[in-house]
Amino acid sequence: MPIPPDEGKALGKLVRQGIDINMDYRGPAYRRWTGHGTAGHMVEGAEAFRGKSVLVNNSAGKGYVEIGYHSSFNRILKPGATYSYEVALRGNGEFVFRASVEGLEPMTGNTKWLGFPDLIKVKLTDRWEVYKGTIRLPDYNDPNYRPRDLVSCAIMVPPGTVVYFDEMKITPQEE
């Protein structure tokens, strides 16, 4: 996809300084990978789990790299529901899948953040492993604010982390 000229100049300068901008930048364009936008690098062959995987290098980062909040993980979880998850991971540091639970006050329409729970948190190893389990949002007992009907999440890559991931699946369990 094309990059606006001013943004392209700024990104090019960072790349020339040796800063990993965590996107596959190709001159005046970048490569978007399906579902998650621009964050991360596509890897293939021996580096990948199967076929192609995503690498996010935040080893020198000062903040978290966030993936999927406004795209693939936008408004995906229902409060009170239980989900199965599966994800293939390797790297160093930790992999975090975090929800952003916004509360709504029904009478006024006012909102506030109720919490940011880590639903999946894995200490990474240098070999590929498939992690499986269940996740469920915590209960929030605020008398004035109830969680929205659907909650957004994101993969959060903490500073000092290099993570490869692939085949992330989140599936509702039968009630």
The helix or strand, by DSSP H or E, that contains position 31, with its residue range, turns out to be strand 29-31
The residue among 55 and 15 whose pLDDT is bigger is 55
Domain annotation covers residue 154: yes
- In 3D, which of 18, 28, 1 has the Cα closest to residue 57? 18
Asked if residue 119 and residue 46 are part of one domain, the reply reads yes
The count of domains in the chain is: 2
Per-residue model confidence as pLDDT tens digits over 63-122: 888 887 767 788 999 999 999 999 999 999 999 999 999 999 999 999 999 999 999 999
Asked if residue 64 and residue 5 are part of one domain, the reply reads no
Domain annotation covers residue 36: no
pTM for the structure as a whole:
0.81
Tell the burial category of 154 from Cβ atoms under 10 Å away from its Cβ (0-12, 13-18, 19+): buried
* pLDDT above 50: residue 40: yes
20 contacts 60 by C-beta, under 8 angstroms:
yes
The helix or strand, by DSSP H or E, that contains position 94, with its residue range, turns out to be strand 94-104
Q: Tell me, what CATH number does 72's domain have?
A: 2.60.120.200
pLDDT at 34: 53
